[in-house]
Amino acid sequence: MLTVSSSKLWAAAAALPMLLLGTAIAQAAPWTAAASTGVVDEEDLQLISANEGRVEVIGSAPVPATLNLRYNIVALDELVNLTSTSPIDLRARYRDNGSNARVELRLKAYNYETGVTTTLFNFDSNAFPANSSYQTQTECFFLGAPLDFTQNVYFIDALLTKSSSGGTASLATIALGFGSCSPQ
């Protein structure tokens, strides 16, 4: 016969796997940003058009024009728990309609003690086929060291370049999290 205290113990034991599973699921969320949340360089304010979370170099911008935005990366569990051998996915939804446009995303670290900024990874839309519509691409990479939020500030430096009047460089979303690739 079960007593009240042993019933509670069995209920707690039965709930434990669900709690652990819920924690694992919660930690699986990547860092994400709508493009419109980026901080724009003051001298680029006349180049930006923002609509429904997306940003782009305005059609009337003098060419060549490069719009620079920065996105602060916060210390989410998924990023803090990456190891030196963890794959990382950088996923972007963007528009690059050809040789007159380019979207570059540079993952950078700024060290608190030294003041040195280091580029850790580059995403370049020119590595993928051009498309006049928005497309989503993912690049998986390895840093070889864990992200250390106690020593560094991490951010993404986004460069949207329009090199002629026919160029369309736009950014909609960015995501950074645990990757899906295998070491080569």
d(CA 163, CA 66): 8
What sign has the CA pseudo-torsion 41, 166, 121, 89? positive
* Domain range annotation of the chain: 30-178
Span 53-80, mean pLDDT? Answer: 94
Peptide bond into 183 cis (omega under 30): no
Quick one: which of 83, 47, 46, 18 has its CA closest to 171?
A: 47
Q: Return the residue matching tokens 């782009």.
A: 56
Span 99-118, mean pLDDT? Answer: 97
pLDDT, the chain, mean: 88
Q: Domain 30-178 belongs to what architecture?
A: Alpha-Beta Complex (3.90)
- What one-character-per-residue DSSP string does 128-161 give? S--EEEEEEEEEEEE-SS---TTTEEEEEEEEEE
* Contact between 128 and 135 (Cβ < 8 Å): yes
d(CA 171, CA 30): 18
pLDDT score of 29: 86
For 156, the token pair is 């993404």
For 169, the token pair is 């460089």
> Is it the case that residue 128 has pLDDT exceeding 70?
yes
Span 30-46, mean pLDDT? Answer: 95
pLDDT score of 184: 60
> Is it the case that residue 6 has pLDDT exceeding 60?
no
* Contact between 70 and 93 (Cβ < 8 Å): no
> Is it the case that residue 165 has pLDDT exceeding 70?
yes
Residue 180 pLDDT class (50, 70, 90 cuts): confident
